[in-house]
A and B are shown apart, each in its own frame.
Chain A
């Protein structure tokens, strides 16, 4: 069966510091991968998605970036965090090889920027 991992689970960082959040998927090959952010009291916003290694599409302008160095690894980064980057970050995967549209989510990372 497929599983998705995210770490760290929680993170507190000062403004201006760098960021690296990691997401890995097991039990599937060549998945579509997604990064979402959930700000306090709001719905989810798609930040990035990837259909393959090195292929990243950005959905919103921001100071975050994403990379996919391996098939089942998706990394969210920032060189300098802003207060507005605080939120709950969720990684998701979807089976690219079928017409199924279901996305499966990881446990999330709670980021607080102080």
Chain B
């Protein structure tokens, strides 16, 4: 079975400061990991994905995530937060076979203060 734990339900940063959203995963196999962002009343947008290539993954809007197998982590970072980054962020792991359904973390709400 696979699971995802997002360690913070709410993160608040000031505009221009770094962002760190933490995610730990559990998977029996080599996982595929994703970060999605959801703005209020909108669908989910893919930020970035890890699929066993480079461990440091670059995504859209300046976000990055690093896959660390030894720590079973896939934390999302951004050097400098913008007001438009305020949203809900989901860490997600995908099944390797079969239905390839996604297992979502509970989400982290990012608040950006002016």
- A interface, CB within 8 angstroms of B: 6, 32, 34, 42-44, 46, 49, 51, 57, 59, 88, 90, 92, 94, 100-108, 110
Contacts and interface: CB of A to CB of B under 8 A. Distances in A.
Contacts of A49: 99, 101
Contact of A43 (B41, B45, B96, B107): B107
Nearest to A32: B100
B104 A105 contact: no
A106 B43 CA distance: 6
B104 A101 contact: no
Given A32-B99, A43-B106, A90 B46 contact: no
Contact of A46 (B34, B41, B102, B107): B102
Given A101-B32, A101-B51, A101-B94, A110 B41 contact: yes
Given A42-B106, A100-B51, A90 B32 contact: no
Contacts of A102: 32, 34, 46, 49
A104 B49 CA distance: 12
Contacts of B94: 101, 103
A102 B49 CA distance: 8
Contact of A103 (B51, B96, B102): B102
Contacts of A110: 41
